[in-house]
């Protein structure tokens, strides 16, 4: 199975901050990666797929980059509604594994 | 609009089985695979398996092989997930999700399964 390691697992930030979350794959997955946002009591929300393609309706402050084994999710200016947990997921091989998650909290 | 509506919460005893349904609407059912993801309390997301509603082909995570079965009913546009030999560690929120290029663009509301004696 492909392992995904996210870092950090927790970060504290303020509204307006630029936030970067990393996801490292245990083997090359080209650009077969998605990012999701998970808020308590809500279903996960797809933010980005194919490493950098913004899902329809997702604000442009979210951005994804990377290929191979190293990927990044960036939130250019953190908004109050962005405080949530973020997961990466590899879409290269079954099982479609997830990273361990990054919880973004208010500083 | 695309919707995935799951069945309600379940409470089961260890060793029992549970079946959760996921009714799809608002799109062509056989054009998109559906997969299942769970989240145990305080834990991350865990992928369980996927079904192609067109031919019914499935793939399961090794961890759940032999315990999970995905089926579909094209007449009612519903996918079912059966998990057997339940144990306390299976207590979790279970989601179905529609796969577009294997990314999950629409999700069900989640079904809480509690396994307790």
CA nearest to B63 within chain A: A95
E strand spans, A16-75: 19-25, 33-38, 45-49, 53-54, 62-67, 70-75
Q: pLDDT tens digits, residue range A9-40?
A: 999 999 999 999 999 999 999 999 999 999 98
pLDDT (0 to 100) of residue A107:
85
Put simply, the answer to whether B105 touches A98 (Cβ < 8 Å) is no
Residue A34 contacts B, CB cutoff 8 Å: yes
Residue range A1-15: mean pLDDT, rounded:
96
Residue B2 contacts A, CB cutoff 8 Å: no
Q: pLDDT tens digits, residue range B64-105?
A: 989 999 999 999 999 999 999 999 999 999 999 999 989 999
pLDDT (0 to 100) of residue A64:
98
- Within 8 A by CB and 6+ apart from A20, the residues are A72, A73, A74
Q: pLDDT tens digits, residue range A72-105?
A: 999 999 999 999 999 999 999 999 999 999 999 9
> Rounded to a whole number, what is the distance in Å from the CA of A67 to chain B's nearest CA?
16
CA distances from A15 to A36, A84, B49 (A): 20, 13, 37
Residue range B7-20: mean pLDDT, rounded:
98
Residue range B23-27: mean pLDDT, rounded:
98
**By three-state DSSP, how is residue B63 classified?**
helix
Q: Containing H/E element for B55?
A: none
Give the CA angle between residues B49, B51, B55 to the nearest 5°.
Answer: 155
CA B23 to CA B79: how far, in whole Å? Answer: 6
Put simply, the answer to whether B104 touches A46 (Cβ < 8 Å) is yes
Nearest neighbour of B45 by CB, restricted to A45, A91, A98: A98
Instruction: Work out whether strand B10-12 and strand B111-115 pair parallel, antiparallel, or are unpaired.
Output: parallel
The residue assigned the tokens 């909290």 is A105
CA B48 to CA B35: how far, in whole Å? Answer: 7
Q: pLDDT tens digits, residue range A51-79?
A: 999 999 999 999 999 999 999 999 999 99
Put simply, the answer to whether B45 touches A34 (Cβ < 8 Å) is no
């Amino acid at each position: 199975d492909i392992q995904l390691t996210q870092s950090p697992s927790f970060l504290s930030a303020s509204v307006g901050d630029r936030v970067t979350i990393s996801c490292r794959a245990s083997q090359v997955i080209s650009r077969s990666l998605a990012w999701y946002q998970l808020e308590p009591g809500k279903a996960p929300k797809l933010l980005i797929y194919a490493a950098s393609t913004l899902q329809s309706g997702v604000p442009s402050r979210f951005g994804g980059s990377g290929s191979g084994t190293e990927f990044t999710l960036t939130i250019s200016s953190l908004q109050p509604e962005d405080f949530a947990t973020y997961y990466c997921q590899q879409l290269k091989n079954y099982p479609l594994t997830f990273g361990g998650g990054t919880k973004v909290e208010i500083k | 609009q695309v919707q995935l509506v799951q069945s309600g919460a379940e409470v089961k005893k260890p060793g029992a089985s549970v079946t959760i349904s996921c009714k799809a609407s608002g799109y062509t059912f056989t054009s998109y695979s559906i997969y299942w993801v769970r989240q145990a309390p305080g834990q991350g997301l865990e992928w369980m398996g996927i079904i192609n509603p067109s031919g019914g082909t499935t793939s399961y995570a090794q961890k759940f092989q032999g315990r999970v079965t995905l089926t579909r009913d094209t007449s009612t546009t519903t996918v079912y997930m059966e998990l057997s030999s339940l144990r306390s560690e299976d207590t979790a929120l279970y989601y179905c999700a529609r796969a577009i290029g294997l990314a999950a663009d629409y999700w069900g509301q989640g079904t809480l399964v509690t396994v307790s004696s």
